[in-house]
Amino acid sequence: MASFAQAERFALHGLAQPGRHGRQAGVAGLVIEQCTDLAFASVVAKRGKLDGLKLAVSTTYGVPLPAGPLRASSGAFAFAGVGPDQWIASAEGAQASGFAARLRGRIGLFAAVTDQSDARLALRLSGPRVREVLAKGVPVDLHLKAFKPGDVASTIVAHIGVQIDMLDSAPIYQLAAPRSTAGSFWSWLTASAAEFGYEVVTR
């Protein structure tokens, strides 16, 4: 059987070139970090099992399952509310490999768990003009008074479904979009950031 392990490529392979782009003068207005060490899984509570799921997640990962569009995290693990009794769980760094399978083994009695890692493009955006860049396409008020650290929004950017998590007040945002739309999303993001200058990094 043929192995494709060495053929795996990141969602923005050939598109995201590390370095400074757009306006060259001054400090880059946006820093775009392609997250290549993040794993995702959807978690949907089974009927009548929500209390057991909350206990299992809290006990295993030290994370209180958020109610509503909020993000809760502990160490390398996070759970973001994306719908009624639905979350996107994530793990980063050394915990990313095999995350969905381990998660299913630990909470599968209480929830349906589906691996989403290969289906998502994940970026972390920061920099002094990050809100101005996002305001060109995000129909959500991202002012700190309206959208705070820990808040989550499932919205549309340039006709593409995007999940936005605010990680801290710096501000730093994590955006996740379908991998199949990576090229279109990248075109929108870089065009929106060009006037401010942007820096591309990969971790």
What is the separation of C-alpha 140 from the centre of its chain, rounded to a whole number of angstroms? 16
This prediction's pTM: 0.91
Mean pLDDT for 176-201 is 96
Provide the pLDDT for residue 4. Answer: 34
Instruction: Please name which of 133, 168, 164, 132 lies closest in space to residue 149, comparing C-alpha atoms.
Output: 168
Taking residues 134-143, report their average pLDDT: 95
In 3-state terms, what secondary structure has residue 147? coil
Superfamily of domain 12-36+119-202: Probable tRNA modification gtpase trme; domain 1 (3.30.1360.120)
- Tally of CB atoms within 10 A around 152: 21
| pLDDT band for position 9 (cuts 50, 70, 90) | low
What is residue 170's predicted lDDT score, i.e. its pLDDT?
95
Detail the DSSP E strand segments found in the chain: 19-21, 30-34, 38-45, 71-74, 77-83, 86-92, 111-115, 120-126, 152-157, 160-168, 172-178, 198-202
As a whole number, mean pLDDT of residues 176-188 equals 95
Q: Does the pLDDT at position 1 exceed 80? A: no
pLDDT surpassing 90 at residue 91: yes
Question: Residue ranges per domain, the chain?
Answer: 12-36+119-202, 38-118
Cα angle 161, 29, 69; round to 5: 35
Predicted confidence at residue 3, as pLDDT, reads 38
Q: Which of 13-17, 140-144, 195-199 has the lowest mean pLDDT?
A: 13-17
The pLDDT of 171-186, averaged and rounded, is 96
Q: For domain 38-118, give the fold.
A: Alpha-Beta Plaits (3.30.70)
Over residues 67-96, mean pLDDT: 97
